[in-house]
Amino acid sequence: MYVSIWSIGVSIMVSVMLMMMCLFISKTSKKDREKMSPFECGFDPKSSARTPFSIQFFLIAVLFLIFDIEIAIMLPIIITMKWSLTSTWILTIMMFIIILIIGLYHEWNNGVLEWAK
């Protein structure tokens, strides 16, 4: 009984000591120059977050997500080739790729992929 109480007490003390050490170690200046500089996105962190931005960034990000998800869907389909009929498998893959190509063609015709207008 005493051993379990002692081990719980020691683990709580070690946890509290580690949290206190992390708190003291991580103290930094609030006016750190690196944290106040723009990071990758190019937006100024001191200005309002509600400023307008180019819709082209958003459209390219959506296109990236669509094709990223396509890869995630294609990998299991390739693995299931062993267990399905070849004709059914080829039909499924072809329909999937045709739908993606039609979507890409539609976006291309609408001018989504043109950066400068």
Contacts of 37 (CB under 8 A, 6+ apart): 45
Q: Where are the domains of the chain?
A: 2-109
The percent of residues in the chain predicted with pLDDT above 70, rounded, is 75
Count of other CB atoms within 10 angstroms of residue 74: 14
Q: How confident is the model at residue 108 (pLDDT cuts 50, 70, 90)?
A: confident
Asked if 103 and 66 touch (Cβ cutoff 8 Å), the reply is yes
Split at pLDDT 50, 70, 90, the class of 88 is confident
User: For 70-86, what is each residue's pLDDT tens digit?
Assistant: 888 888 887 887 888 88
pLDDT of residue 51: 67
